[in-house]
Amino acid sequence: MKESQSKENLTVRWHIGLNKKLVAYFVFPKEENKLRLVLGDELRLLYPGDAAHPAWNSVGHVVYLLPGLDGVPIDVNHGFCVDFVWQSTRFDRMQGAMKNFAVDGTSVIIYHQLLGHEVDVQMVRNTLPRRFGVLGLPDLNASQINAVKNVLQKPISLIQAPAGTGKTVTSATIVYHMVKQGQGQVLVCAPSNVAVDQLAEKISATGPKVRHFDTSEKSELHKLQQLKDEQGGELSSSDEKKYKNLKSAIEREIIQSADVICCTYIGAADPGLSNSRFRQVLIDESTQATEPESLIPTVLGVKQVVLVGDHCQLGPVIMCKKAACAGLGQSLFECLLLLGIKPIRLQVQYRMHPALSEFPSNSFYEGTLQNGVTIIEGQTTGIDFPWPVPNRPMFFYVQLGQEEISASGTSYLNRTEAANVEKLVTAFLKSGVVPSQVSVIVIVGFEKGLFDSVIYLNKLSNLQVASVDSFQGREKDYIILSCVRSNGHQGSGFLNDPRRLNVALTRARYGIVILGNPKVLSKQPLWNGAWVLVEGPLNNLKQSMVQFQSPRKGGYGVDYATQGACGNFMNQNSQGGYSRFSRINDFMSQICHQVGPSLIFVDIGFCHASTITCQKLSELLRRILYIYFSDFIRVLTSEY
């Protein structure tokens, strides 16, 4: 009989429920007689007492049994292993989006454009506003106005937003005008909930009702869920009905009361949005999303799509090399660009000191970036850092220390460079900079822990060490960039991707210091002669006399067709600018060195890549690149 059974020396965990009742959790071990508990069993829990506590007992009922205890070794407390369980939700939703895209007939024009079919694209019939600026947001510059105006009239638009060019303000303005057009709710997607929050906050400032569709809970609903869990998943019929009604009401309120729904790419496939239809969609940071991710928001009845991003910065992170080589590493933004859809570029940057923006502008954006801040606005007051050249807060600090392979064998470290990073950090702090204003950026795959230990020893908890990839989309007042590699034979893999270099050089607002071995870095055309090279103690920096070899011939020496990087083959002219003729001349030289079954072909005008055959070279140069010297190109290709 159950009444004759008892267990001693049980370990009890107490919990006070929302109904103010005490709930005791304990393990009731089974013995040979297979004593079985069931819900509703009445048990007496007693404590015999000790010197500090009097004896106690109480009667209660079993309200919850942990399922699946048969075969569980509850009497063993060691020797277990823990594994992470792979969650397939993200991939299931991407696969579902691709299947829906294949059969979705909502927008034939967008369907054919995304697949690269030749169709007559019709302008969207909308009444353009008289004033494109919006209350609650900064005034728009000319390039932002041009972007908003064009986007509102096209079924598919690409906006290229270099670092600091007001991408969020432009996106919020576009969404505001879409709402005012009265075509229904607007869907806005971003890669992460943090990015969604930032964009939602900016859109909300313009007036529309914005909802971030995520897993946030209302307080009463959360309490009922907790009560349901405490009572073994069982609610009374009245509480169960109330729970379901509240849950449904909240979901309807989120969807129906909003003008704008904001969510992540994957969140757009949530069952809560399955019955919704969005005619207008804006996809932020689209160059960081894989093509299947970007397709998810487009299968919800979309008639107008806006993709915002920058293909000259880092693309999607693909851990599997085979998947990346198969095309998964190419974003939908880049695919559309290769199909001939010309991006609208934002051209005024408000982040960097003018001296800091000059090199990225000339190297990655054909010199088109303008400065929305003056030299005075790009300086901080009360900071006395020893910049070698006044009004140019940047320099390359020559490091000749040798690299080492880390203990893990999978990354590199440079102890000399790490020590000099610590000296630079100290110099910044002594000059009046606070730790939260500075970040140390190190190369992906290198020994970040070495820099972390330096910061820990100096108790600089607010100073952040991060990889280039993790720092995309962020900014700091001052950046210390450590290149680590110092091997003239192997070079630096980091420099093989200009997009990563672009990200690294555009994070700083007021100043940047780069540490590296110029003998290695100067082999890359982008680095040769680009910086003020100095060496010596920080309080007495002098121009470095290190002799450099000429850059490698043929651009970056990278297969851009497989990496999807942006490339510009440029020569600097006597005025310090970059001539179109020099770009074309260098480009043709690159082609002549790569003749074969196919040619690696880099877009000078719009920074994208493709693989073309010799027979189609002339046609593609005219149709895709819009290069100006068509007669010159025709002569060269015909000789070919």
pLDDT band at 103 (very low <50, low <70, confident <90, very high): confident
Distance of CA 425 to the CA centre of its chain: 27
Residue 531 has what pLDDT? 54
Residue 2 has what pLDDT? 63
Assign a CATH topology to domain 106-119+141-209+259-345.
Rossmann fold (3.40.50)
Only one residue has tokens 């299931």, namely: 92
Whether 39 shows a pLDDT value over 80: the answer reads no
Contact criterion met (CB below 8 Å) for 586 and 384:
no
Ranked by mean pLDDT, the top range of 211-215, 474-478, 540-544 is 474-478
Contact criterion met (CB below 8 Å) for 627 and 637:
no
Residue 629 has what pLDDT? 33
Q: Which residues contact 136 (CB under 8 A, 6 or more apart)?
A: 205, 206, 207
Residue 300 has what pLDDT? 85
Separation of alpha carbons 30 and 11, rounded Å = 15
Per-position DSSP letters for 440-464, written without gaps between them: EEE-TTS-HHHHHHHHHHTT-TTSE
When the pLDDT of each residue in the chain is averaged and rounded to a whole number, the result is: 75
pLDDT band at 112 (very low <50, low <70, confident <90, very high): confident
Residue 232 has what pLDDT? 56
Between helices 167-180 and 193-204, what is the axis angle to 10°? 60
Whether 588 shows a pLDDT value over 60: the answer reads no
The phi, psi pair for 535, rounded to 5°, reads -150, 175
Residue 53 has what pLDDT? 87
pLDDT band at 378 (very low <50, low <70, confident <90, very high): confident
Q: What percent of the chain has pLDDT over 90?
A: 28
Contact criterion met (CB below 8 Å) for 606 and 565:
no
Q: Which residue has the higher pLDDT, 324 or 577?
A: 324
Q: Which residue has the higher pLDDT, 251 or 100?
A: 100
Tokens of 113: 């454009």
Q: What is the pLDDT of residues 391-414, one digit of tens each?
A: 889 888 877 766 666 555 555 666
Choose among 166, 497, 460, 437: nearest CA to 313: 497
Q: Which residues contact 194 (CB under 8 A, 6 or more apart)?
A: none
Residue 309 has what pLDDT? 96
| Greatest pairwise CA separation for the chain in angstroms | 103
Residue 312 has what pLDDT? 93
Average pLDDT over residues 476-481: 93
Separation of alpha carbons 622 and 306, rounded Å = 26
Separation of alpha carbons 627 and 265, rounded Å = 36
Give the three-state DSSP class for 597.
coil
Tokens of 157: 């638009």
> Where is average pLDDT lowest: 143-147, 149-153, 519-523, 531-535?
531-535
Average pLDDT over residues 554-560: 35
Whether 332 shows a pLDDT value over 90: the answer reads yes
> Where is average pLDDT lowest: 262-276, 325-339, 346-360, 534-548?
534-548
Residue 297 has what pLDDT? 92
Average pLDDT over residues 147-164: 94
Separation of alpha carbons 174 and 161, rounded Å = 14
Residue 565 has what pLDDT? 35
Per-domain boundaries in the chain: 2-61, 106-119+141-209+259-345, 215-257, 372-543, 560-639
* Antiparallel, parallel or unpaired: β 476-482 and 464-467: unpaired
Helix (H) or strand (E) holding 200: helix 193-204
**Same fold across 2-61 and 372-543:** no
Q: Which residue has the higher pLDDT, 211 or 462?
A: 211
Task: Report the CATH number of the 2-61 domain.
Answer: 2.40.30.230
Residue 81 has what pLDDT? 80
Q: What percent of the chain has pLDDT over 70?
A: 67
pLDDT band at 216 (very low <50, low <70, confident <90, very high): very low
Residue 118 has what pLDDT? 82
Choose among 486, 490, 485, 483: nearest CA to 467: 483
Tokens of 359: 């090199």
Distance of CA 124 to the CA centre of its chain: 31
Q: Which residue has the higher pLDDT, 372 or 106?
A: 372
The phi, psi pair for 49, rounded to 5°, reads 95, 160
Contact criterion met (CB below 8 Å) for 407 and 538:
no
Q: Which residue has the higher pLDDT, 431 or 71?
A: 431
Long-range CB contacts for residues 268-277, cutoff 8 Å, separation at least 24 = 268/187, 268/189, 268/296, 268/297, 268/300, 269/93, 269/96, 269/97, 269/296, 270/213, 272/213, 273/213, 273/300, 276/185, 276/300, 277/106, 277/184, 277/301
- Tell me the residue type at 92: D
Task: Report the CATH number of the 372-543 domain.
Answer: 3.40.50.300
Tokens of 155: 């079924």
Average pLDDT over residues 555-578: 33
Q: State if pTM tops 0.85.
A: no
Per-position DSSP letters for 473-513, written without gaps between them: T--EEEEEEE-----TTT--GGGG-HHHHHHHHTSEEEEEE
